Structure formats: structure tokens, C-alpha cells
Structure 1
Amino acid sequence: MIRLHHVPWGRSFRVLWLLQEMGITPDEIVRYRIGDRAMRGAGLLGVSPAGRIPALEIDGITIFESAAILQYLCESRPEPGFGRPPGHPERVRYLELMGFAETQASLVEQLNLNHLFLRPPAKPSPTVVKLNTLRLADTLRALEGMVEGEYLLPSGFSAADAMLGFNLFAAPFYVRMDPFPRLRDYWGRISARPGFRAAAAIEGPQDFYARDFYEVPGDG
């Protein structure tokens, strides 16, 4: 039994995507929505102590945190070559990218919170939103410089592409991508992969973002 605890088009998409790249479809996908009471229920808390997704039940164990899940999948199923094990010449950059993905995703999360979840009388701070938007743009600028070939690592597609690919789905709702031609081309390549397309077909259309782009709110 493989069971994925999942929010559609959330960070758990990384796990669904890599599973599809490996030719694995979960036996069950338990779907949640941000803010639902079910995310504080015993079902999710029993597999993810902070009530966060993703969590994956596989091989008789339960594991949470997307980077840990992807690392586990690559180590327990090394045949596709999506990990970079100790001793691999790309190991250090691979680990950097896996960590950098969460640095970037934390900024997306803060912008999601401010733009989508805060409601009157709680209003987002324009200063905080502007700062996080600029920080997100800085991470995109850094990533633009890291994309030198078809994928993030010279030897080909890896779990790092799945980790950072999710961010490139979300970031354009907050940062204009015109200054980042490499990232635009890179997104086109990874989102055209059969594994990504299979995962997206399972997801269906995204209904998380109601606008095509979210501007920084004005001071008024």
C-alpha cells in the first residue's frame, strides 16, 4: 500500500511527480485543502506531527517532509538515477539544490499566506509582502544563473528538478518572469516531461490561485 497525503498543487506535488517519473502511482491519495479541519485531525497528525503535507506511507513506513521523501525514494529505488548518492561528483550541488528549493518555497508560502489567506480585519502588510516578493525575485535570479543545461545538473533530471519545479509553478503568480529567460525555458522543458504531465493529469486544473498575478498591495 502506497498512500500519499496531499494538497493539490501544493508541495506534495513534488512527491506525486517523482513517483510518476518512477512509474509508480499511489494506491490511495488522501486529499486535503489548506485550512480544512481535517488537516488538524488524527488522520494527518498521525503521519505528519505538525499537520503538514506531504506525508507518504510506503514500504511499511511513514515519512514526512518533501525533501526527505524524495531522498528516500531515490535511495530505495536507485535504478532511475534520480538521486546523486555519496561519492557522486554532483552530490554537493544536488544537496544545495534540494535545500535551496525549501528556501524559495518558504517565500512562496509567506506570499500565499498574505495574498490568499489573510482576510479583513487582518490585512497583509504591504512592507512585508514587498520584502518577501523581492526576496523571491532574488532566489529566482540566483536560480537563473544555475540553469546552464537542460536540467539543473549536467548529468540529467534529478529529484532536485522535482523539488524546484514546484516553485516555478507558483512563483509566477507573484514575480514577473520576463527577466528570467532560462527559467522560462527550463519550466517549459520540465513541465513537458511525461512524469510531470501524468501528475498534473491526476491533479486536474489548479483552483488555488484565483488571479493570474498578485500585485503588492498598496499602503492604503
Structure 2
Amino acid sequence: MIIVHHLNDSRSQRVLWLLEELGLDYEVRRYERDPDTRLAPPELRAIHPLGKSPVIEDGAVKVAETGAIVEYLLETYGKGRFRPSAGTEDARRFTYWLHYAEGSAMTPLLLKLIFSEIPKRAPFFARPVAKGISAAMNKRMIDPSLASHIRYWEAELNRSEWFAGDDFTAADIMMSFPAEAAASRGGIPGLPRLDAFLDRIHARPAYQRALERGGPYAYA
């Protein structure tokens, strides 16, 4: 039985989704963020030294990091599903988007989150200054970078319905979190292809089942 160490409102929701798409049996062990800090609980450090989610256990095998978990599940249980045939252009796109989702795509999103929290966590007397610094960083650096990435996603979805070609793959599962997070943090209006992508993934039965297993997920 695969065990998923799952943190609420986190990237581990994608692991549950892939497990549902693959039709595998699994157990969810839930952890809740601290309501004030939004950080993972210390109990997760007993599972992984960094105290982060997701982590899966499959017998004696323990895997952390979403991309690594996705690759492990596809290699071990995929039987060729949810990834293009090796050596094809779609396969190269698949590998790119699989790693881009946790690499380049998440950087501006994490910066957006961090700088939005700075004014809230600054001492009361320093909040006006912190708010000004946060607004300036968002305007000059973070928002333009994020907008560039989102427009890039929209353009790529003009090439094909899914990120790695005409068929749904695990690359789309990986890209779901950046796309959902961007949409929840304002995004850019008037991007019909990205909106349609979100509608398609949210309508998938496996996505819905994963939500039922994982509990409340603010980005859906």
C-alpha cells in the first residue's frame, strides 16, 4: 500500500491526483498547516529531514519532491500511461514541463507569496515601510516576471490542448499547481486557453476523487 504524507493546500494534491488517474490503492496521512504561520507541522520532520510534503512510502521505498514522485510512479506503475512515447518531440516537451513546473514556474509565485506576507508579519510600527517595500518589489520585479510566465503558458497551450501534446499527461498534472496558484493570486485576465486548461483538469473524475481524498484545497 502506497502511503502519501499529504499537507493541506499544498503541491501534494497533485500526487493524489496522479494516483487516482493510475487507479492505485493508497493511504493518505494528513498534516495541517499552522493557521498563523502557514508552515507545515513539525511532525513532518519525522518523515523527511526538511519537514516538507509530499513524501510517499511504497514498501521500503521513500520518495520526496513532487517531480521525483511523479517519475517514480510512472516508471513503477504507469505501464506507458500519462507520458508520450520515448524519443518523440512530445516526450521532450513532457520532460521540460515536468521539471519547469517546480523550477522556473514556482520562483515568481513563491516570491509573490513571500512578499505578500512581509507586511502582515512586520512589527506594527514598521508595517507602512514593509508594505511599501512589498508593493515596490511586486510592481518592479515579481509581477512582470509572473506575467511573462503566464503569457508563455497561454502561448504554449495554443500549440496543443495539453502542455506536452494532444494527449493529457503527467506534465499537465505538474503544471496544474502553478496555473492554479497564479489564478488564485490574480493572474492575468483574458487568457482563454489557460482558463480552458483549468476547466478541463478540474472536470476530470480523478481530479475530483483526489479532492475528496485530500480534503479542502484552496486552489481548486
- Structure 1 residue 74 displacement after superposition: 0.8
Matched, 1:114 2:125: no
Aligned partner of 2:56 in structure 1 is 56
Identify the residue that residue 4 of structure 2 maps to in structure 1: 4
**Count of aligned pairs between the two proteins:** 207
Label 1:202 to 1:177 Cα distance change in 2 as closer, same or farther (>3 A): farther
2:45 paired residue number: 45
Residue 126 (structure 1) aligns with: 135
1:144 aligned to 144, 151, 154, which one?
A: 154
Paired residue type of 2:200: R
Consecutive unaligned residues in structure 2, runs of 5 or more: none
For 1:155 and 1:20, the matched residues in 2 are separated by 21
Partner residue of 1:167? 178
Post-superposition, which runs of at least 4 consecutive aligned residues in structure 1 deviate over 6 A? none
Q: What is aligned with 2:73?
A: 73
More off after superposition, 1-10 vs 120-129: 120-129
Percentage identity across paired residues of the two chains: 29
- Write the letter of the residue equivalent to 1:40: P
Compare the two structures and name the one with the higher helix fraction: 2
1:192 is matched with: 203
| Matching residue of 1:135 | 145
DSSP-derived class of the 1:10 partner: coil
Q: Distance in 2 between the 1:176 and 1:30 partners?
A: 29
RMSD: 2.5
- CA offset digits 1:186-219 (Å, max 9, x no partner): 111111111111112223444589xxxxxxxxxx
Partner of 1:154: 165
Q: Which range moved further: 123-132 or 31-40?
A: 31-40
Unaligned runs of 5+ in 1: 210-220
Cα pair 1:22 1:80 within 8 Å, conserved: no
1:24–1:31 distance in 2 versus 1, CA, 3 Å: farther
- On the 8 A contact 1:47/1:63 being kept in 2, the answer is no
